[in-house]
Amino acid sequence: MDQETTFQPDQTPSEPELSFLDKAIGIFTEPSRIFESLKKFEYKTIDWLIPTLLLIVVVIISNTLIMSNAEIRLQVKEEQRAAMEKRFDEMVQKGQISREEADQQIERAEQMLEGGLGTIFRSIGVVIFIFLFLFILSAFYWLIWTKLLKGTGPYKGALSVYGLTYLIGVVETILVVILSLAMIKLMTGISVASFFGFERESDLRYFMSKLNPFTIWATYILGVGFGKIYNVEKGKSLIIVYIIWVVYVIAAKFIPFLNWAG
């Protein structure tokens, strides 16, 4: 019989269940207490659904605001064109397509990304991306904490922890918009690379782009949350979650597909 069907709250709680607002505020002020309380009750869908929907809405609005600035929109277009040219140049060199075909495809792609159609495509991508990583990474962490670290608890617990951590992403996204518009500069996160002119495509720029205080903060919250939910010692939980993050950063440097965090 699996853990999902046999799980029961740790004990009959002697305290009232926290409201979603209490949980949302507690993630920033006292995460250990929030997760300790969370596992005493049935896991609620709203604990991960509301932060996920909130992050989606904030990201879509933020993208719209940033792209409303003509200078930033030009920067985005230039970066997109440079990335496409690099990809198609490699295909031309390999003889997969002709130079003329590559130029035509670049032009068509640019037209699709312009105007309202581009906004729709970007918005759909945001929805798919955020939900996809919520479910996949929650499952990944659940397996690590229950199988490798011998913790106990259901998949729903991982969804609640990961979903609530999205609230940190909401705060970062809002700051990204404010800084992007203030600096008239395209920013994808609050990382060291966002504030210094590292050479494009350099290894130093890549690693500095991962040095993001919000990422480090969110990773800490994940470690605390998984430790509490799955009854794994806090120190061990934090060590494992940061090891996973470091391995991801290194792997994504050599496997571009994994570099979803920007």
Count the neighbouring beta carbons within 10 Å of the beta carbon of residue 217: 15
CB of 204 closer than 8 Å to CB of 143: no
- Closest Cα to residue 79, out of 187, 177, 202? 187
- Closest Cα to residue 258, out of 161, 137, 176? 137
Count the neighbouring beta carbons within 10 Å of the beta carbon of residue 43: 21
**Tens digit of each residue's pLDDT, the chain (262 residues):** 344 444 455 555 567 889 999 999 999 999 999 999 998 988 999 999 999 999 999 999 998 898 888 888 888 788 777 778 788 787 878 777 788 877 777 777 777 666 667 778 888 989 999 999 999 999 999 999 999 999 999 999 999 999 999 999 999 999 999 999 998 888 888 988 888 877 777 788 888 888 999 999 999 999 999 999 999 999 999 999 999 999 999 998 887 666 654 4
pLDDT of residue 12: 53
Residues 234, 184: Cα–Cα separation, whole Å: 42
Residues 253, 241: Cα–Cα separation, whole Å: 19
pLDDT of residue 7: 46
pLDDT of residue 257: 64
E strands, 4-113, are none
pLDDT of residue 3: 43
CA gyration radius for the chain? 21
* pTM of structure: 0.83
The CA–CA distances, whole Å, from 131 to 8, 49, 223, 238 equal 27, 9, 21, 24
Residues 142, 135: Cα–Cα separation, whole Å: 10
3-class SS at 14?
coil
